[in-house]
Structure 1
Amino acid sequence: MGSSDEVRWLDLAEPRTSPYATNATVDGLITSLDRQRVVLHFAGGPLDRNAMASSMGDVAEAYGGAGAHSLFVLQSGGLRETLTRNLPHVLREAVFEIVLKRVLLCVLGKAAERSVPGARGRSRSGNLPVPSPHRVAVELNSMEKDGVEPYASLTPPTGMSRLTDAESQWLARTLSQDQQLRSLGRSASATDSELLMSLTRAETPGATEGRHSSRTGLEVATGLLVRKVVNAARAVIERFRTGTHHGLYPTAVEEILREFCLTHLGAALWSGMKNEAATAFRSDEGSPAGVGRYFLDRFIEAVAVPERKDVTVVGHGSGTPLMNAFLAAFDARRGSADSPLPADFRIRNVVALAPMCTFPELASTLRRRNTAFEHFRLFALTDEAEKADHLVPVAYPRSLLYFVSGVLERDANGMSAAVPLSGMARWYDSGQVVGGPEAEEVRAVADAEPSAFVRSPGAECGARSHAQFRADPALLANLQLMISG
């Protein structure tokens, strides 16, 4: 790699000793972008700087080959690293497996007798036709033995109904007599199980005091555990009803993690990253500009030159919220009365690589076309490739985007909810209606401009995993063509 293609980066979260040191760093980076073509590449930076420089080397070389100088704008957080470090420990706990089996039994019972081989009959009192525990164990054992996803071929019946109060009460009564759950309730306060420790944290002070009176404490802990199992099952059923499920087994895993509030697995980190991205380029009234705002102002000054810089902006994965925030701030600054930019200045290309953002967030960016930028392209893995890019081999057989969508995202009210992500190809399938009006808005753009929405692997991109987006020859050639064309 030549010196002109070196990996330059600005980490917006990296602590600095003073504002002056920050400004000096930004000034040096802006000065180094001295070619007519410039690429800003937004990414969620890994914790290891050497690994980051190595992983971005092919991309920087491709940008240089297109005659551009590039700058990688990072928001450190190590989301994937955090998840891959912590998730296996939880998902492979014997405690988690016990809870998972009960959630699966509840959901399978609701999925209707004809859909579940071996289901028992039901009565008028809310009994569900649950399969035998042995059948569920066989399915889970096949996953451990052969790596086969449990119930991968199960299709929920059309018109699946909600879990009724009578069914919930029957499940609660049945589960409260489950000896394995009662055993877990007994050990909730003396365990290193992440799942059971989360149960203990959820108890009220009164319940905690009562727990030490033996039987009363056992009933309280078991009752909490049973309630969470039923709540997780209800959430899985509702996702089957609304079409936001990720398959029975992955959805059950996701909803157990949600119900037991295992936020250390990434929810707090992801929410923090998104909040930081949303404010990264703002300058609040009466307060000094942060490094992001200073960078935006200096970048605008650098491109507002008579020869006009030709700018491409790329957002990859968890860096996409940061890209969206930059484009919003750029658009607002471009339209301000004191902007140094010519009125008709536009960023030429915006490229989203497996964007880890919601449909409302992407729709907001697409509305800036013709004011902030001219051309847009999105690259996403096919759903088959997305499912095969396992975040945790065997234990969670889906990709990072699936996990963020199913566990870490929040709804418009800030509550935990399964939220479709715009970087997942499944939401662009013909006839798809999930995601609300903003998803329809984005899908309308995709339908009108099919060449702007690329699925991989294919002729224009051969990546079969999210990591391969950084080195796929077809994609890099595509990016070079966009930048130099």
Structure 2
Amino acid sequence: MPNDLLNRINYVHVGKHGTFYPDTNPLYNSTPPEIDSLFKFLKENNKSKLLLYFHGGLVPADEGLKTAERIVRYCNSGSDSHAFCFVWETGWMKTITDNLTTISNSDFFRKILIKVLKVTGPKLGIEPDDLFDGAKGFGQFTEEAIEAELRKEAPFESYQINTGAKSATILDAESSMDESGIQILQSELQAELEFEIESDPELQELISAEKSQAEEDILDPKYKHSSEENAKGLITTMEVIIGATKVALRVIKRYIKKRNHDFYPTVAEETMRELYVSELGNWLWGNMKQKAADMWKHSDFEGNFFQWPVGLYFIKKLAEYQEETSKKLTIDLVGHSAGSIVICELIKMISAKGYDIKFRNIIFMAPACRTDLFENTILKNPSIFSSFRCFTMSDECEKKDRLFYFVYPRSLLYLISGILEDKSDALILGLQRHTIGNHPYNDDHSIIISDFLKKEGHTVYAVTDKSAVEGYRSSARKHGAFDDDKETTLDSIIHIIKQ
């Protein structure tokens, strides 16, 4: 809920489809005249600097407003810029978390996960570090031992790869950098999984048993007990064997291409993609990205303002203000997580429509935008901005930011890359592994991005050491911490914009 510090010249609420469409809570609603009042305030108070802030895209409205309050407070106390925040909440993180909770409680998911771990581990030469015996081959692990590992906060976090223990087929594929030969493993994997699944009475019972309603709601249709794809209302054992084989093959292919997210997270990602992906959350993520684009979509601004895109209306009034006053505002863009997607879409729209609007700084915190979007918008329009800085976690810290313990012991950016995007290991700007030019992320497009990010002052990896100078400090150890109170990243941003 808005507080005493926030008023309508500090934020705008973005409704569904990126419009002024009203929220069920009238306290969150915004109107075009409120944006008009912002520019009246800037003129009457002779303000020359404007900070536009875009929070992450999976938060509810109240959290978005709390973030807006924090940004306004920091901005007012540390700079002469006027802060204006786009509260474009979707609130879908709760849905994704609820779905992960359902999966964590699913014995069916856990059993399939164990079977895939058990079959793929030996072929990949995985040797988990055992507390008592040191590293040992995965084939020596019983299902009870795997179960015990899954009760840990981060299963199979420490392991080695014994090249000598790998499948010869995998070794050949790795040496030739060609995954096509791996298809001959399919029959071998299917035979092993068929034995594992058919000889497990508990899993047989789980296959035939009805799932909880919560799990039924998110299962892929082919694994539902009643759906058009499964007209008989029964899931056959062979369907599960085929599905598990697909998962195992995808895991192995990702290892061959060096596109894995370590052993356990990769198996978890591919298992969830097979059993649940269409309903787990990627459609929510897709809708959120669409909203980020829709707020800048074309409009003639006629008829009911409920249908007007908020972002484009703001830019229209900004352009009019600068033309009427003959003053160019100094504008800084700051985006956290999916807020980076909104900024990319803004730059794309400014370029397409030819607005005479320039930005001083573009500042990202843990950006969740894909690298191709970043390249095709921001990097292709260098004349629209003067300076760029990205604050994000090192890969070491990213892996320790555990989103959901055993089900998914990696950060939100890893979840987006591994599960929520259309393809596994989608390249995300905020993931260090994707943007430093190392194999396999070293194609021409990746090198363009890594060269840009390596330029002096463009990237800050948290956690920075004590020697870091002002404007280059960040102590964030979690994805959501970058814009928290007392977080040095915000101090760095204020230092940048007060210049």
TM-score band by shorter chain is 0.7 to 0.9
Partner amino acid for 1:268?
W
Say whether residues 1:26 and 2:28 are aligned partners.
Answer: no
The more displaced of 193-202 and 462-471 is 193-202
Say whether residues 1:385 and 2:397 are aligned partners.
Answer: yes
Q: Is the 8 A contact 1:74 1:319 kept in 2?
A: no
SS at match of 2:84: strand
Q: Trace 1:14-163 onto structure 2 (pairs within 5 A).
A: 14=16, 16=21, 22-33=31-42, 35-45=47-57, 48-64=60-76, 65-112=78-125, 115=127, 131-132=139-140, 134=142, 136-144=143-151, 146-155=152-161, 157=163, 160=174, 162-163=182-183
Note the C-alpha offset of 1:38: 0.2
1:259 alignment counterpart:
274
Work out which of the residue numbers 232, 235, 240 in structure 1 matches 2:255. Answer: 240
Change (3 A) 1:130 1:480: closer
Work out which of the residue numbers 358, 362, 378 in structure 1 matches 2:374. Answer: 362
Q: Is the 8 A contact 1:175 1:181 kept in 2?
A: no
Say whether residues 1:482 and 2:487 are aligned partners.
Answer: no
Q: Trace 1:291-440 onto structure 2 (pairs within 5 A).
A: 291-304=310-323, 305-333=325-353, 335=354, 339=355, 341=356, 346-410=358-422, 416-429=423-436, 431-434=438-441, 436-440=443-447
Partner amino acid for 2:209?
S
Change (3 A) 1:443 1:107: same
Q: Is the 8 A contact 1:30 1:299 kept in 2?
A: yes
Change (3 A) 1:50 1:117: closer
Say whether residues 1:166 and 2:193 are aligned partners.
Answer: no
Note the C-alpha offset of 1:347: 0.8
What is the root-mean-square deviation of aligned Cα atoms in Å?
Answer: 3.3
Change (3 A) 1:183 1:436: farther
Q: Is the 8 A contact 2:332 2:362 kept in 1?
A: yes
Work out which of the residue numbers 194, 200, 203 in structure 2 matches 1:181. Answer: 203
Q: Distance in 1 between matches of 2:481 and 2:72?
A: 15
TM-score (norm 1): 0.82
Q: Distance in 2 between matches of 1:429 and 1:202?
A: 46
* Structure 1 unaligned blocks of 5 or more: 119-128, 212-216, 411-415
TM-score (norm 2): 0.80
Change (3 A) 1:3 1:181: closer
1:279 alignment counterpart:
294
* Structure 2 unaligned blocks of 5 or more: 24-28, 131-136, 164-170
Q: Distance in 1 between matches of 2:242 and 2:346?
A: 43
SS at match of 1:52: helix
Q: Distance in 2 between matches of 1:196 and 1:348?
A: 47
Q: Is the 8 A contact 2:153 2:409 kept in 1?
A: no
Q: Distance in 1 between matches of 2:426 and 2:229?
A: 36
Change (3 A) 1:41 1:380: same
Q: Is the 8 A contact 1:149 1:249 kept in 2?
A: yes
Note the C-alpha offset of 1:77: 1.3
Q: Distance in 1 between matches of 2:100 and 2:343?
A: 28
